[in-house]
């Protein structure tokens, strides 16, 4: 159950990260004048942002999935 929920969340974050990185890479030349001390293709910034987003996504998927895994299926069906 946990693996299923986390893998679905990671699929979504991979798609979002790919689109976001492409958009950030495309628009970073436009805002290059606003970046102080960074090149417009700074790999540490792109990698750090992506890793932070991935870590938050894993945590956001894990906590509700862990709580849902603790619920007894019979009780969940009775509630419905």
Residue 80 pLDDT grade (very low, low, confident, very high; cuts 50, 70, 90): low
Angstrom distance (rounded) from CA 13 to CA 9 = 6
Mark residue 71 as left, alpha or beta (left: phi above 0; alpha: psi -120 to 50; beta: remaining).
Answer: beta
The per-residue pLDDT for range 7-65, each reduced to its tens digit, is 888 899 999 999 988 998 888 878 777 767 767 777 888 899 899 988 998 899 899 88
Angstrom distance (rounded) from CA 80 to CA 73 = 11
What's residue 67's pLDDT?
A: 87
Can you read off the two tokens belonging to residue 7? 């893998």
Instruction: Domain ranges for the chain, please list them.
Output: 2-79
């Amino acid at each position: 159950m946990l693996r299923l929920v986390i893998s679905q969340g990671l699929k979504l974050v991979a798609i979002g990260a790919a689109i976001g990185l492409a958009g950030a890479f495309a628009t970073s030349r436009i805002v290059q004048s606003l970046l102080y001390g960074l090149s417009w293709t700074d790999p540490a910034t792109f990698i750090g942002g992506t890793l932070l987003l991935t870590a938050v996504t894993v945590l956001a998927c894990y906590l509700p999935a862990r709580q849902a895994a603790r619920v007894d299926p019979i009780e969940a069906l009775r509630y419905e």
